[in-house]
Structure formats: structure tokens, C-alpha cells
Chain A
């Protein structure tokens, strides 16, 4: 009886972990604000974990020189160095239909308020005054037989974006990929016609 309960607890722990991930992601999709971020060219696939497009949102690479135009190079590099390895809040501002980074600050002291759209990320490295930030927004899974839109970026004249759900605490999750403004499923269906 004791062993049966322990077994049940072990199975429930597995199901609870999966359920928790599903529930938190569903909650984020329902309550999070949808923002559109421009993305840069990406690698195609990794067959081991299913087919996915490796994505790099432009917001993952922030040049502090653009955010602080009046600063000299040394001051910018010192400022960038203090962020390396830190969790940061990247505040976004609307620029047309998309959102782009407006400011970077460490979350160690204060987090932006709920009225501001911001992404929670971790600075992995820096090159000069350019920060490489990891938001966990780097994979968009596609069906094994679906069309790969990455080639469009090399042809020019096309735009690729991701739709991201952002919670008030900065957590984010990719909801969809937009190819020239169309949702991925819609664009993919049109490729077969």
C-alpha cells in the first residue's frame, strides 16, 4: 500500500510538472500582452528535438551606444560589463506595429511597473558595448513537412517577426511567427497551393 502511494506520487509529480508548464503557458497566453518583435536570419532545423527554426530577435542584441548616444566608448564598455551574467529588464517601446528596446536595467534593484511592457532576460556576454541577452525566445517549432521561411530573408523584400506574449513580470513566450505579416500556419498553408 505504501509502495503504491509512493508510485502514485512519483507519477503525479511527472504529470504535475507537465501540467504546471502547460498551465503557466496558457495563463501567459490569456493574460499576457501581445507584442511583435522583428527577427534576424536564423539557422534551419535540429531534427533531434523536432523541427524548429532557430530565431534571434533583434532585441537579443542591444547596442548601448544607441541607447546612450552621448556616452564615450570607455564609459559604455564599463556600463555594459556590469550587466554581464545579470538578469535584466529590457523596456520596450512601440515603433509602428513592432516593439523595440528602449532601456536596459538590472532587475536586482527594481523591476519596471505593470504598466510598462518589458522583457526579463539574462545578459550572456558582451562585445564592446553590445549586450547579448537571452530571453528564452529562440525556438519556433514547425511541422516536419512544413515550409521553411528562412530562405526569404536572403531574398530580401520580406519581413519576419515573432508574436510574443509578455506577462506583467517580464516573462515571455513565443506565440507565433509572422511571415510578411501573415501568421505562420496561414503562410504555410498558402505555400502548398
Chain B
């Protein structure tokens, strides 16, 4: 809702006699003051500058590590990196919390410290020539930087461990799949399928985490987690929607070999990483559900929070999509990509409907982008394949123009409705 809408609504309430005559303007202006405080652009600019400074410091420390100067001995290098890490944390704490006179600067320094921790791990690995098959350094990095955004309840700082977590999940899964990949030769492209399912599991886990953040002190983390969850689910369905993804024999086994032990084993490997994430999502979702149940029981059924159920519903939908896609791959392999296309279309429709019903324009815009990208992918997959490049590009251009014209009208209506302004 915008300031003008609020003032119009208050005027309407006054006209209906629910407010004493002449009070509408005062009430409206006070409400607008409370709900839409003036933005402090100078403070925002200061925060951006401070963050840039923090990022540059972290980049400098990473470059220092990468340079591996021979003239500096092992002990001074270790002292320097330990000292810098502890120093950045200490100064960041002083600026951000105690006494906390410069919170933007403090947060930027803490971000630099969080990034420097990765550099410190890299430096120790460099000094002792250490390497790891699985990305344990990234695991340690995100796990041990996670407490800082939690303690400060900072959404910006959360982005650092969140990005590292996403990197770790994909990297770890890639190594795991590579290690367990059978050497029978009919696997190869199926790695992409594995990542399609992985994204669905990841989406479910992040949605459950977002639900867990509701109505506790981490309420601010729910929105970014839920947004990334939605992106992950759409990305997963998008990957699975390609007919070419996966090798022929795994997706389309010979007659009578659908439930062969070797295929079951390979499907197990394919779905393993996604299964782990889905299991974690179920566990987290159950914990959140139990906590909600206990809370609503104590508060009375009519006071049960409904808003926080959105993310649980998202997580449940992601899990159901993953199960449906996996079941089709198992039982009706040639239709697996059709099922994924259907699920993707369903997700787009659901996002538009929910976006308009709950007044969330971002959902509508995300759905529109997902729809456009999918249509273009299908065009290049089926229509443009094998055609002359000139015709393929011309056809793609015409398709985009037609879609653009259609969406220009529909998207505007949906977004206006989502913003609560359409009749």
C-alpha cells in the first residue's frame, strides 16, 4: 500500500462516519508518518559506501593470500591473518553494537571479517599445502559465519552465509555424484537431472527455513529465504523440463528393464542429494509445524497465525513437485519432462493467483519472467532446432513481440490487482 492509497482510505472511513468529521486529515497524516517514514538517503548512501569499503578490504585480504609472498614468513603471515580477523570482528562489534555509534560502518566491517574468515582458511591451507576432495572449507566458512547475522539480525549479513551455503550444496553434490557415478557409461548427461531434483529439494528446505523464521526474532530473514526458495523451485522445474536432459537409457530404459536393479541403483544416486535436502526440509517443516501447533493451541485456534503458513505451503508444494517428478521418472520415464513442464506451468499460475490474492506484485513478476524464459526455451528446443539461424532468430523475435504485447496488458492488470488498485 502506498501513501496516497492510505490517505484515500482514511478519507473514505471519515465519509462513512467512522471517524469524527475533520479528523480524517490528521489521522491520515499521522498514520502516513508512522507507516511511511521519510527515507534517509544520506544514511543509505553512507551504508553503501561503508559496504563497498568492507568488500574492498576483504578483496585486499584475499589478494594478499593469493599473492603468497615469499618474503613474509609463515609465522608473520599467520599472525597477520589471525590479527586481522580478530581485529575486524572487534572493531565491527564496537561500531555496530557496543557502543554502536556507526552501525553501517560496523556491519560493513563485520561483513569484511566474515569474508576474511574464508581467506584465513585459504591461507592456512596454502601454508600447509592442504586440499580437500569435498568442499569442507566452504562448509566451515558458511557454518562459522552464520552466527553473526543471527546475532545482529541483519538481513544483508545473512546473504554471505546464504551464498556460501548455496555454493557448498551444489559443489558437494557435484563431487558426491562424481564419486558415486557408475562407470557403465549411460550416466553422463543425467547429472543435470540430478541438479534439477536438487534445486527442488533446496527450495523445500529454504521454504521450511523461511517458515521457521516467522514470528520469532528472525522474522526479517523469512522474505529473502522464501524468495530464494521460489527461485530454486522454478530453476529445478526448468532444468527438468528439457526433453534432452538425461541420457537415453536412464530416462528411457528398454522394455521390461524399468525396475531393473542397476537402474534403481542409478536412480538412487541421481536422487540422493535431493533426497537428503528433502529429508532435512521435512524435518524442519515438522518442527516448525509442531511449534506453530503449540503456539496456536495456547493462543486459541482463531488467533493462529496464518501468514507464516505460506512458506510451509511453498515447501510442501516443492516437495510434492519433487515427488511427482521423481515418480514420473520412475514409472513413466518418457513423460518425465512433460510432467516437469506441467508442474512449471502450474507453479507459474499458482504464483500469479497468489500474487494477486495476497497483494504481492513480486510473485506476479517472477511468474511472468519464468513463463517467458520457459516459452523461449521450448521455442529454441523444438521449433528453432535445425532451422536456418535467420529464421530461428526471426521466429524468436516475433514470438517475443507477441508475448510482450500479451503480457504488457495482462501483467499490468495482475500487478495492479496485486498492488490492490485494480477494481
Contacts and interface: CB of A to CB of B under 8 A. Distances in A.
B85 A14 contact: yes
A14 B117 contact: yes
A179 B180 CA distance: 36
Interface string B88-109: 0100010001100000000000
A3 B69 CA distance: 38
A122 interface: yes
Interface in B257-301: none
Contacts of A52: 126, 129
A10 interface: yes
A139 B137 CA distance: 15
Nearest to A164: B129
A75 B207 CA distance: 51
A50 B65 contact: yes
Contacts of A11: 86, 89
Nearest to A26: B128
B130 A139 contact: yes
A146 B69 CA distance: 9
Interface residues of A, number: 41
Contacts of B131: 136, 138-139
A60 interface: no
Nearest to B72: A143
Interface in B95-151: 97-98, 117, 120-122, 124-133, 140, 144-145, 147-148, 151
B20 to A, nearest CB: 46
Most chain B Cβ neighbours within 10 Å, of A10, A134, A138, A173: A10
Interface stretch (A16-24, A66-74, A101-109, A110-118): A16-24
B151 A49 contact: no
A7 B78 CA distance: 22
A185 B145 CA distance: 35
B86 to A, nearest CB: 7
A49 B97 CA distance: 33
Most chain A Cβ neighbours within 10 Å, of B70, B97, B120: B70
List the 9 shortest-distance A-B pairs measured between CB atoms, nearest first. A10-B147, A174-B129, A25-B128, A143-B70, A141-B126, A50-B66, A139-B131, A144-B67, A11-B89
Given A15-B86, A18-B81, A139-B125, 15 more contacts: A6-B147, A7-B151, A11-B89, A17-B140, A18-B82, A21-B128, A49-B66, A49-B126, A136-B132, A139-B130, A140-B129, A142-B68, A143-B67, A143-B69, A175-B129
